[in-house]
Chain A
Amino acid sequence: MWITLLTAVAESALEQLLNKEPALAVQLAATQHKTLAVTLTDLELCCALHYVGEQQGKARCFVYGNYQDQADCHITTTLSTLQELSDPSQLTRLIREEKLDLEGDLQLAQSYSKAFAGLNIDWAEHLSNHLGDAPAQLLVAQCERAKQRGASHLGILKRTVTQLCQDELNVAVHPLEVRQFKTHTRQLAQQLAALEQRINALSEL
């Protein structure tokens, strides 16, 4: 039931987007009345998207959860690989590397990927309808700055972690060294056992 609720939320968000960004609806015109299903193997979930075009001047689509029917295009992949699809040129590479399985109409997947990749939402314009021009501009500018700051912090964090790992690698014992050490210890133990046997034999004389 939660999946159904989530798909309802996703559907309504997507419809709002389609109606606010007419360019997206134009890009998706070729996908009208076709179903794109995506199975995410890590989440054991199959969702589907069905764009039906404009109805009474409004763009309409259906988002299904737990989809079980035949789709025009069916992608099977993982959540992380799906994120890479935001770059449409990666599709064929991902298929070649067997990170993604595609059954059916390749063009349908490409159309969706291209339509969403080319999306450039003018948040200030949309928000100004609710907040007024100046507060909307201010809010978007703040968010943009926060995003940049976030990205720069993330960059620093990534660099620090990489550096730490490299430093650790420099001082850590290599697995080959461990194996060599084990072999030496084993040889030493054998020599000791042999020596013990000889001492025992000599002391019995």
Chain B
Amino acid sequence: MVADVFHSVAAKYDVMNDLMSFGIHRLWKRQTIACSGVRQGHKVLDLAGGTGDLTAKFSELVGESGQVILGDINDSMLRVGRDKLRDLGRVGNIEYVQMNAEALPFPDNSLDVITIAFGLRNVTDKDKALRSMYRVLKPGGRLLVLEFSKTDNEALSKLYDFYSFNILPTMGKLVANDSESYRYLAESIRMHPDQETLKSMMEEAGFEQASYQNLTGGIVALHRGFKF
């Protein structure tokens, strides 16, 4: 099901992302980069990276001596990402690898930073994926999870529900001619664990100093954890 959804939305993914979030996803991603601590020479994995928004920025930050891996389970998304980044002239320090977050194809202790933006909610076994991320991070490395979450503002929550289940699928139908995929996206957001639950899951997987910050009233949360 997840694979079908992303095959179907890949081509229009970037346009829909800007439309659906009114461009705010760019600010959420900025905050993720600001909290990533990515430096020159780092080896970074943009997991479930899709069309590579974060990869593009990380490739500038790590420089020629570093490396960014754009990892995604879906080859259509990877292809769109690769074409976009090549058009932007980002070549040389980026690798494109098809992978499943639940079984990362890297040796133990080999990455400095892992980010997973709007991807964890689509992963079937989230605990397994978090353990896999912990395993491949170097000691001192960190994981950042950017994901839809729960807002405790009642008015905002109602507005957001109406938007997700009514406006979003209509937009999906009009722009991408695919209301089903966008209905699935809205439902997957509801199923995703809330802030505290995800924090506990990260701790359970071994992450230390796990913390989170709410963005846009908790509609989105940025979780961060370290491996020491």
Chain A residues in 8 Å Cβ range of B216: 1
Decide: B63 and A52 in contact? CB cutoff 8 A. yes
Known: A4-B30, A8-B30. 11 other contacts (CB 8 A): A1-B216, A4-B31, A8-B26, A33-B40, A35-B39, A50-B61, A52-B60, A52-B63, A60-B60, A64-B34, A66-B34
Instruction: Please give, as numbers and ranges, the residues of chain A lying within 8 Å of B80 by CB-CB distance.
Output: none
Cross-chain pairs A/B with CB under 8 angstroms, 18 sampled: A1-B215, A4-B30, A4-B34, A8-B26, A8-B30, A33-B39, A35-B39, A50-B61, A52-B60, A55-B89, A56-B88, A62-B33, A62-B57, A62-B60, A62-B61, A64-B34, A66-B34, A69-B37
From A5, A7, A55, A67, B60 is in contact (CB under 8 Å) with: A55
Residues of B close to A48: CB separation below 8 A: 34
Query: A62 vs B215: C-alpha distance in the bound complex, in angstroms?
Result: 20
Contact with B along A22-60 (1 / 0, CB 8 A): 000000000001010000000000001010100110001
**9 nearest CB pairs, A to B:** A64-B34, A56-B89, A33-B40, A69-B37, A4-B27, A52-B60, A4-B31, A4-B30, A55-B60
Residues in A neighbouring B31, C-beta threshold 8 A: 4, 66
A120 CB within 8 Å of chain B: no
**Chain A contact residues, CB within 8 Å of chain B:** 1, 4-5, 7-8, 33, 35, 48, 50, 52, 55-56, 60, 62, 64-70
Q: Are A65 and B60 in contact (CB under 8 A)?
A: no
Bound-complex Cα distance A10 to B33 (A):
16
Instruction: Summarize A's interface: helix, strand, loop or mixed.
Output: mixed
Nearest-CB residue, chain B, relative to A47 = B34
Within the assembled complex, what's the spacing in Å between the Cα atoms of A2 and B203?
30
A186 CA to B63 CA, complexed, in Å: 78
Residue of chain A at shortest CB distance from B216:
A1
Question: In the bound complex, how far is the Cα of B39 from the Cα of A33, in angstroms?
Answer: 7
Known: A50-B61, A56-B89, A60-B60. A1 touches B27 (CB 8 A): yes
Please state if A7 and B30 are interface contacts (CB–CB under 8 Å).
yes
CB distance from A6 to the nearest CB of B (A): 10
User: Within the assembled complex, what's the spacing in Å between the Cα atoms of A14 and B35?
Assistant: 21
Distance in Å from the Cβ of A162 to the closest Cβ of chain B?
Answer: 44
